[in-house]
Amino acid sequence: MNPLETLIRERITAGGPMPVSEFMALALGHPKYGYYNKGDPFGVDGDFTTSPEISQVFGELIGLWAAVTWQQMGSPEKTILIECGPGRGTLMKDALRAAANVPIFAETIDIHLVETSETLRACQAKTLSAHRATWHNTIETIPEGPSIFIANEFFDALPIRQFQKELGGWSERCIVLFDGALSFESHLLTEEPFGLPRYTNVGDVYEICPMALTFVDQIAARLLQQPGAALIIDYGYERAMPGDSLQAVRHHTFTDPLTDPGNSDLTAHVNFGALAGIATHAGCTVFGPVRQATFLRALGILERTQTLLGNALPNQAGHIHAATQRLIDPLGMGSLFKVMTISHPGAASPAGFEKHPEKKGLQE
Ligand SMILES: C[S@@+](CC[C@H](N)C(=O)[O-])C[C@H]1O[C@@H](n2cnc3c(N)ncnc32)[C@H](O)[C@@H]1O
């Protein structure tokens, strides 16, 4: 049995059923045994692949998006460029290379990375060795000023709570020890948790991600005070939907979330509607979500790919073409992943959302 599972068992024995959110936080973020602190999980030899690891074009387009957003913000003298959960640092590296096409922007940005994993911080420092960056555990310590946030596959890694509708009210899904094994069990709550839908069917499971709501609340508070925008890209749904979306992936294959905790990636679908609700309630303007394919096409992914193909060696062309297709595949990442922007109140429509002024439902 791995040391993290031993620790989880001890906590359940001492403290009783463990909510899914606590299990997820330990499995992903335990300082020594947590998944993100143990090694580099990305790429073919790892457990999963993200968009910036598939194609350099992804980060490049986001770098240009940030430069255009900076112009829409009135080209402030200093801008704070923040990435939440930068992984290997690949997206930021590609984004900065493309942003260099707008020299005043590139020369006046201050790079801040929100990352809790020491292992990945070291990896990001290596990838971004040509740049000066500052690391943070939370958004709260980032200096004030006009800001552009980027978060790709960050929110899906934050711990969720799962609630199940019972005849007698709501129960919370927890992890218990049953027949000597970690197992899911629902426990009836005495008080109804805030934020769950009123009309539901018995047996339905709903998820809430308190940490995601807090992050967006903090981002919105900053964007109210200063010009800026936050680009959120993730897989998820537009409004609260019943369903258990907790999933574990190891070596690119789905696995049991409770088996060998700390050694597989745990994620859950992002409720974009809940994030938009927090930002709108705070007074910010929300654009999207739109499908990733729609966003990347609007930013010129096909044109950029053609340019790359024009300069590629024959043995590289197939890979470049396939990578772009994967990002915009209507049956895969192109529609599974959604893109949303939270902006300073009254901001102009950001690049990639031109036909989508304000949230009116998912559009092609
Ligand atoms: C799935 S990876 C995404 C990586 C990267 N954005 C990409 O697209 O390749 C999730 C990232 O979020 C970081 N992370 C997870 N939970 C976090 C938290 N609570 N605070 C800050 N970073 C966190 C992980 O360490 C990792 O860098």
291 found inside a domain? yes
Question: Which residue's C-alpha comes closest to atom 4 of ligand 1?
Answer: 87
State the residue range of the domain holding 258.
3-343
Say how far apart CA 10 and CA 21 lie, in whole Å: 17
Q: Say yes or no: CB of residue 85 within 6 Å of ligand 1.
A: yes
The structure's pTM equals 0.94
DSSP, collapsed to helix, strand or coil, labels residue 173 as strand
Q: Say yes or no: CB of residue 117 within 6 Å of ligand 1.
A: yes
Q: What is the CATH number of the domain that holds 304?
A: 3.40.50.12710
Whole-number mean pLDDT of the chain? Answer: 93
285 found inside a domain? yes
Cα dihedral 97, 100, 105, 108 sign: positive
355 found inside a domain? no
Does residue 357 have a pLDDT over 70? Answer: no
Atom of ligand 1 nearest to the CA of 29: 16
* Angle made by CA atoms 198, 191, 209, in degrees to the nearest 5: 65
CA distance readout (Å), 259 to 1, 45, 75, 107, 262: 10, 20, 50, 47, 9
92 found inside a domain? yes
Task: Please report the pLDDT score of residue 355 as a whole number.
Answer: 64
359 found inside a domain? no
Q: Give the orientation angle of helix 56-72 with respect to helix 314-328, to 10 degrees.
A: 60
Say how far apart CA 28 and CA 34 lie, in whole Å: 5
- In the chain, the number of structural domains is 1
Find, among 244, 339, 257, the residue nearest to 291 by Cα.
Answer: 339
Q: Say yes or no: CB of residue 152 within 6 Å of ligand 1.
A: yes
364 found inside a domain? no
Mean pLDDT of 114-142: 96
- Per residue in 21-56, pLDDT (tens digit) is 999 999 999 999 999 998 778 877 788 889 999 999
243 found inside a domain? yes
CA–centroid distance for 149 within its chain: 12
Q: Say yes or no: CB of residue 50 within 6 Å of ligand 1.
A: yes
- Facing residues of 340 across strands? 232
Q: Say yes or no: CB of residue 270 within 6 Å of ligand 1.
A: no
Does residue 364 have a pLDDT over 70? Answer: no
Q: What percent of the chain has pLDDT over 90?
A: 85
Count Cα atoms within 13 angstroms, Cβ side, for 324.
22
Beta carbons of 128 and 93 less than 8 angstroms apart: yes
Whether cis (ω within 30° of 0) applies to the bond prior to 289 is: yes
Mutate to test the pocket of ligand 1, among 26, 28, 36 (most ligand atoms within 8 A of CB): 36
Q: Say yes or no: CB of residue 154 within 6 Å of ligand 1.
A: yes
Least confident of 132-146, 191-205, 264-278, 298-312: 191-205
Does residue 359 have a pLDDT over 60? Answer: no
CA of 157 to the centre of ligand 1 (A): 7
149 found inside a domain? yes
- Per residue in 171-222, pLDDT (tens digit) is 999 999 999 999 999 999 988 888 888 888 999 999 999 999 999 999 999 9
Question: Which residue's C-alpha comes closest to atom 13 of ligand 1?
Answer: 85
More confident residue, 76 or 194: 76
